[in-house]
A and B are shown apart, each in its own frame.
Chain A
Amino acid sequence: MESFAALAQGVMVALQPANLLFAFVGVMLGTAVGVLPGIGPALTVALLLPITFKLDPAGSLIMFAGIYYGGMYGGSTASILLNTPGESSSIVTALEGNKMARAGRGGPALATAAIGSFVAGTIATLGLALIAPTVVDIAISFGPEDYFALMVLAFCTVSAAFGSSVTRGLTSLFIGLTLGLIGIDLQSGQARLSFGIPDLLDGVEVTTLAVALFAIGETLSVAAAGARADEIIEPVKGSVFMNREDWKRSWKPWLRGTVLGFPIGAMPAGGAEIPTFLSYALEKRLCRKPEEFGNGAIEGVAGPEAANNAAAAGVLVPLLTLGLPTSATAAIMLAGFQQYGLNPGPLLFATAPDLVWGLIASLFIANAMLLILNLPLVGIWVRLLAIPRPWLYAGILVFATLGTLGANPSLVELGMLVAFGLLGYVLRRYDYPIAPVVVGLILGPLAEQQLRRALAISVGDPLTLFQSPVALVLLALAALALFGPLLFKLITGHRAPVGADED
């Protein structure tokens, strides 16, 4: 079993004291930002990119992964106690979790979310370790046309999965692709869409765009909502421990959520939202007391939370093995790899096995840390929810501009931050998803590279894109992702039950 040998090697890397510290800082930060409304793991990692530039790559990436996992745990706390999901993938958790909190059962709700996340995260990370070498073996034989098809698939699924309509998702994606064009074309040396502004020659920084869309756009939206957004924090009453019945009702939903979440997250279809919706629907159907659903059924917290965390681990499969980000956080993490000159993909497993397997092993450690942090210490995280909104958002903007200035101390960069922030506000206001913009900016140039490589090999014959069987299958799946919801609507007369957003 080459996986286990490699994983054992990775455990040695992850157990180095410095890396343990990075993992700890990551999960602490991740939980905090997951709990706080308005900031998620994507934004946090984006803010940290310029600051970690000079640090050790393995340590920084372990920290980013800790933030990613931590954000998933923290998101459930905000959903349950505040009824405002900190993360989009916690929307479903809020449905039953907040009802439980209002009924004085906030403790068990938090516990089943945390333990379920731990169970699902551990199983799914094991799945990641087992499946990654296989995917790498397959991917190593991919030609440029196959990679191009894979990216087209990611474009289509990201556009279709996020947002309320495919048109809106594609619009966001193309905004990102257009931004990806800006700058000097590396193959011909020609400046594109830079209108003679020297700051634009290097292209649009991923961090600037992500920070602007997530931090500034969100702050503007919340400010514009004014007094509309009033929230009540439910205090945690009673014990945080689950009784026998809670355990009995939780363990099956945990496992079912894992089984739903991991494969869906691992497919280049991406997103942790869809499996949470599916898990909720499944548990509602299987529950012995369906009348409790809508009034605080513990199954409705246990299942979706497990699905959420399993999918989060699943998203790392295409990211690490193919270099394909399928969520906003994964896209920013890809930028994190790139800042160290590392390109995730099959080659990374050969060139930097210690780093990749150290990262995977650290995920197990992060998961265990998170369980400990979240169960007994939940009271501390709850206090974060009490930070007054004006100070919270003022602080977010201070750190957003600090991160941008730290990466590139230029006023033009800050101006771009404000302009993209306004773009983010407009997108939110009119219900266009944010994640495809970020994915488009990062994947667009990579897709162009593969497209030109494929066409150069075939001396300009575009038919080459459709001649590989792998590429054909991937393109067919892409078409299905785009037109599937439309077909679903035509056949059943209902809109497809997706339409979640972000992170």
Chain B
Amino acid sequence: MSETSASPSGPDKARLAIAAALGGVAAVVGWDAWRLSNVAAHSAVGPAAFPTLIAVGLALLAIANAVEAMRGIDEARPRDELKPMAWVLGGLLGQIALLPFAGFSIATGWLFAATARGFGRGPLWAHILAGTVLSFVIYILFAKGLQLSLPAGPLERLI
């Protein structure tokens, strides 16, 4: 269970990166707090007090994470496969790109197909078709039944 002894793998680069990112966020929050303390200085506990506390906490955690990272990797992490992830992300970003002009059904059909592809299920075009039909049914249910305002495109304008 315990793995306190120094690991031969060297510092945990990923956690060092996380520590650096935390440091960056601490700086941004701290800068914003400093800006706020200049703007509204009429009260003892203004909008800057709590952000200052959080910035200090973030900075301390950046250091703590860096220290833990220097001790080495505490658990071996299996390699992640980038291709399936890229498909899923592509599905999500593609949906955002398609939504304004293609509408909810087609954009979400693409998301469905790209995700299924990421999990190894093809063919892409059949899933786009199935996903679009599924999303169209959802659109009718939610936009008409529950009055949610979902982005409409050419398909949605048909009804």
Contact = CB atoms under 8 A, between A and B. Distances in A.
B137 to A, nearest CB: 11
A152 to B, nearest CB: 11
A393 B77 contact: no
Contact of B116 (A187, A390, A494): A390
Interface stretch (A218-226, A309-317, A348-356, A478-486): A218-226
Interface in B93-125: 93, 95-96, 99-100, 104, 108, 111-113, 115-121
Interface stretch (A5-13, A97-105, A455-463): A455-463
Nearest to B111: A397
Contacts of B2: 493-495
Interface string B81-101: 110110111011101100110
A429 B146 contact: no
A192 B47 contact: yes
A394 B131 contact: yes
Nearest to B64: A167
A6 B157 CA distance: 51
A417 B93 CA distance: 10
Contacts of B113: 394
Given A51-B148, A174-B61, A411-B100, A223 B85 contact: yes
A228 B78 CA distance: 9
Interface string B115-159: 111111100000100010011001000100011111100000000
Interface centre among A397, A415, A451 (most CB of B within 10 A): A397
Contact of B92 (A190, A397, A405): A397
Nearest to A407: B148
A158 to B, nearest CB: 15
Given A188-B47, A406-B150, A494-B1, A390 B119 contact: yes
A226 B84 contact: yes
B115 A402 contact: no
Given A226-B81, A414-B96, A398 B131 contact: yes
A178 interface: yes
A178 B29 contact: yes
Interface residues of B, number: 71
B142 A224 contact: no
Contacts of A425: 85
Contacts of A238: none
Given A224-B85, A418-B89, A188 B46 contact: yes
Contacts of A219: 88, 115
Contact of A414 (B75, B95, B120): B95
Interface in B31-72: 32, 36, 39-40, 43-47, 49-51, 54, 57-58, 61, 64-65, 68
Nearest to B139: A402
Given A190-B36, A389-B119, A429 B80 contact: yes
A219 to B, nearest CB: 6
Given A181-B51, A225-B81, A393-B116, 20 more contacts: A167-B61, A174-B58, A190-B39, A223-B85, A223-B87, A223-B88, A225-B78, A390-B115, A390-B116, A394-B131, A397-B88, A398-B131, A402-B142, A414-B92, A418-B92, A418-B93, A425-B85, A429-B14, A459-B44, A460-B44
Interface of A: 50-51, 54, 164-165, 167, 170-171, 174-175, 177-178, 181, 185, 187-188, 190, 192-193, 216, 219-220, 222-226, 228, 388-391, 393-395, 397-398, 401-402, 405-406, 409, 411, 414-415, 417-418, 421-422, 425-426, 429-431, 448, 451-452, 455-456, 459-460, 493-495
20 contacts: A51-B146, A167-B65, A171-B18, A171-B64, A178-B25, A181-B50, A192-B47, A219-B88, A225-B80, A225-B81, A226-B81, A228-B78, A397-B115, A402-B142, A409-B150, A430-B14, A430-B15, A448-B50, A452-B50, A459-B44
Interface of B: 1-2, 14-15, 18, 22, 25, 28-29, 32, 36, 39-40, 43-47, 49-51, 54, 57-58, 61, 64-65, 68, 74-75, 77-78, 80-82, 84-85, 87-89, 91-93, 95-96, 99-100, 104, 108, 111-113, 115-121, 127, 131, 134-135, 138, 142, 146-151
